[in-house]
Structure 1
Amino acid sequence: MATSKFMDWYGNYSSVTTFILLGLSDEKELQLILFPIFLATYLVTLIWNLSLILLIRMDIHLHTPMYFFLSFLSFIDICFATSISPRMLSDLLKKEKSISFIACATQYFFVAWMALAECCLLAAMAYDRYVAIGHPLQYSTIMAPGLCRKMVAGAYVSGLISSFTQTFPCFHLSYCGPNIIQHFFCDVPQIISLSCSNPFISRMTVLLVATFVGLGSFLSILFSYGFIVASILKISSGKGSAKAFNTCASHLAAVTLYYGTALSVYLFPKSDQSMKQNKVLSVFYSILIPLLNPLIYSLRNKEIKAALKRLRKRTTGMPQLD
């Protein structure tokens, strides 16, 4: 009865109450190989991101705007991976990968929320790097805790509103024909193509959100890096220029990986031949990037390494040497 009311509210008066996800592959042997790989990937993603959040919270030397943003980026990556991986893992062990209408709408809502919030947060982190390099003397004043909290809240709220703006029109359409989604999770472009009503508004909504939030965040990052490059060129010392660039290297790598894959999936025209390629790109930005982000920000980061040493000395009871 509740399901029927939900369908009426969404305007879906068709017989389609479930969708079928094709998944990553229809080969049983390959699915059995992929399961332990993606299970390990998901568990490591959780461990690394949670560890980074705890380390930032526990070490007072990391209580700076840069690591404040990084801790919330890790939280987004945990939620992003969790909205996709558990369902995908269970489907790898199933013969029929069905998902209810409500569950499909809910999954996409959270996937889009986290993906769009990450776009906005990466833009905020780019601005933080610009202030750190372009206005080092005013950095602590400009990037005050209050502003940092507002920027993080803005990223989450923007992602929430943008996700709802996409999800509602899509699942308000009527679905009365095929119910097979050519993906391993509920993704709006594939779902809209199954509708038997006019999808123009839904398609335009997806395009506008991708343009204004996704591409808009990317352009703001480019503007920030344009000012960063201009500021670095003003530094007379070669060592100072290298140090300034190193502070941006991790963020720049994360942005390149994330936007390089996500924008290619959602902004370029689709064809039947590109479905497999889109699946691979989707695996990369939704599953592998949440795994890679903690590594990108930690491997060459001297402050993270120093914080790990301090934590190890505290836990083992060894005196800390300055």
Structure 2
Amino acid sequence: MRQVLVGELDVLPSAAELAAGAVVVTLPMRTRFRGITSREVMLLRGPAGWGEFAPFTEYDDAESSAWLAAGIEAAYLGPPPARRDRVAVNATVPAVPADQVAGVLARYPGATTAKVKVAEPGQRLADDVERVAAAREVVPAVRIDANGGWSVDEAVAAIAAIGDVEYAEQPCRTVEELAQVRRRVGVPIAADESIRKADDPLRVVAADAADLAILKVAPLGGMRAVLSLAGQIGLPVVVSSALDSAVGMAAGVAAAAALPELDLACGLGTGSLFVDDVAPSFLPSGGEVAPRWVTDVSVPDGLRASPDRERWWRERLARCHAVLAGGGTHGSGWSRT
């Protein structure tokens, strides 16, 4: 099983230390995205600033422990050294009706690339075709993301109907299915879930299943884990968010800024999806965002989670900390405070 270690830390902070400085917030969203209209996030305070622990609620403790590792790394180590002071980002278009696409893209000034969500449950292929066509009227480059929502045959048919795209992200669920689609279509295939949810994230390379790698800081265990994997995977990399608050986004932008090579726009503009945030959002200007670290957050009462949700997250923190501290699925060899 894949190990998750917290950056370069030799000692894992105790669960009590993490909980003492933690705050749980609920961030309202402008548009339904990934089936939710608000995003719950636990913020962790440490000597280097703030980190984010925000695995989606359906994730189990083993998977979620990687997100905790990423949050601890951010709060206790801070960002790796940057190689660039600007990161190009794509606009993100949720599964909205085609007549709303231009309005969504207006929140990404200067963006020349849009990632359009497709294969939304309950929608038709015609909806995807219309949404992508509407995006093409505004920006020159469009990429699509199916989140593993198609079968192989559905993916081949859908990509043909949608037409030329920069790449199709995770059209099917498994590595084997990605490889089949890649052999049958004329557009590049990008792997996301097949990397971040895999015990062996390099299997997509061995199976010749992808042309690009989508890497996300939180699910992969942190910024330094992303940099390490990018060096091993041997594919062009796009760093993307996991619907992060400004705290989590700071880590994503920092990872992108630290990569030796970065030729494609990253999926790090999703701060535009939030009505409010805990720090200034990473809103693109000229199609780019600049790295900056979050050392101060603002949590008005209206953003604080309810007491029962606060308790739920604190219990989850304790369980995931036990996974990291005890080895379990994701780690081993920790010194204890």
Do the structures match in fold with TM over 0.5? no
Please identify which structure carries the higher strand content: 2
The higher radius of gyration belongs to: 1
TM-score bin, normalised by smaller chain: under 0.3
